[in-house]
Amino acid sequence: MTDAILDIRNLTVRFGSIAAVNDVSLTLRRGETLGLVGESGSGKSTASRAILQINRASSGEVHFDGEELVGAKGARLKALRRRMQMVFQDPRSSLDPRMTVGALLEEPQVIFGIGTRVSRKARVAEMLHLVGLDPAVANRFPHEFSGGQAQRIAIARALILEPELIIADEPVSALDVSIQAQIINLLVKLRSQLNLSLLFIAHDLAVVRHISDRVAVMYLGRVVELADRDLLYGAPAHPYTRALLSAVPVPDPHIERQRQREILKGELPSPANLPSGCAFRSRCPLYAALGKPEICSEKLPPLAKVVPGQSAACHFAGETDKVAGPSA
């Protein structure tokens, strides 16, 4: 049995002429958390939906536990989806306001024909307790809960079918900072307790750092850096990653005052009209610092190994120190 529970190869998702996800290859190991980060419009959420075949892939392969998902339909896709569940950004939009919490959690079991009415209700109580809620809330409706409590309910609903893979799409971005930490800690605990594999999607590198084993950084539909967490945060190889890290606040006020932020200039290019060569070059401080080398405008950089455990799609990967200012 392979060590990878999820193997994505050359995945592309097109909407008309626009490639929202462009030739993405990623692997998620069993029991691992892979962070997927990038600005709005980078393609990370589209990629997550293509894994579950909510958005159909235009080309490429998605293997879950060795089984191909692209093109899967009907009973086969339903059976695979039972083993993969998603937690969305806004629980209030993913939880039916007309249903009680108990009915919401019981529904997936009914759909898959699991258990009896009595056993399903017992399972609902068990899952609510697992995510830190009193089972008595099963009789209440989603609007009666805070954002953090509603997200706990959404997590319980995702876990009730005992999936092996959880895709968490910006699960804390709509929550207060203090509540974000609680949900992150809950996911960390559940991953260990239930032996889950987790694809954690966010735009905030500070959030991703505390939960991920490895991190993939996306820009305009492509993965531009993939690295073990400590490598990425300690020595980012791609100038885009470095710029994102420079925007993360540091708790020490003295260090924060001394830091020189790397502000990306220019607007994010339109996916319908990408620059030639490297799509990041129009905003890249390293491209400017090196005198705008021709290779950057002529050749698309492949995602290539920089050091063991770290790959980057940059012709000058690892030379980010040529841009003034610390990365963190």
| pLDDT for residue 249 | 63
Checking if the pLDDT of 307 tops 90, the result is yes
Describe the strand order of the beta sheet including 67-68 as a list of residue ranges: 18-29, 4-15, 59-64, 67-68
For the chain, domain boundaries: 4-224, 237-323
Cβ contact 320:238 at 8 Å:
yes
Give pLDDT, residue 250. 61
User: Model pTM?
Assistant: 0.91
The tokens 């056993």 sit on which residue? 119
Whether domain 4-224 has CATH 3.40.50.300: the reply is yes
Chain-centre distance of CA 143, in angstroms? Answer: 27
Q: Are 313 and 240 in contact (CB under 8 A)?
A: no
Asked if residue 320 has pLDDT above 80, the reply is: no
pLDDT at 1 (0 to 100): 39
Residue 247 has pLDDT above 80, yes or no: no
More confident residue, 266 or 119: 119
Task: Please check the confidence at residue 32 and state whether its pLDDT lies above 50.
Answer: yes
pLDDT at 261 over 80: no
Write down the pLDDT at residue 327: 42
**DSSP notation for 182-236:** HHHHHHHHHHHHHT-EEEEEES-HHHHHTT-SEEEEEETTEEEEEEEHHHHHHS-
**pLDDT (0 to 100) of residue 256:** 46
pLDDT of residue 324: 57
Q: Is residue 256 classed exposed, middle or buried when 0-12, 13-18 and 19+ CB atoms within 10 A define those classes?
A: exposed
Q: Considering the chain, what percentage of its residues have pLDDT values greater than 70?
A: 93
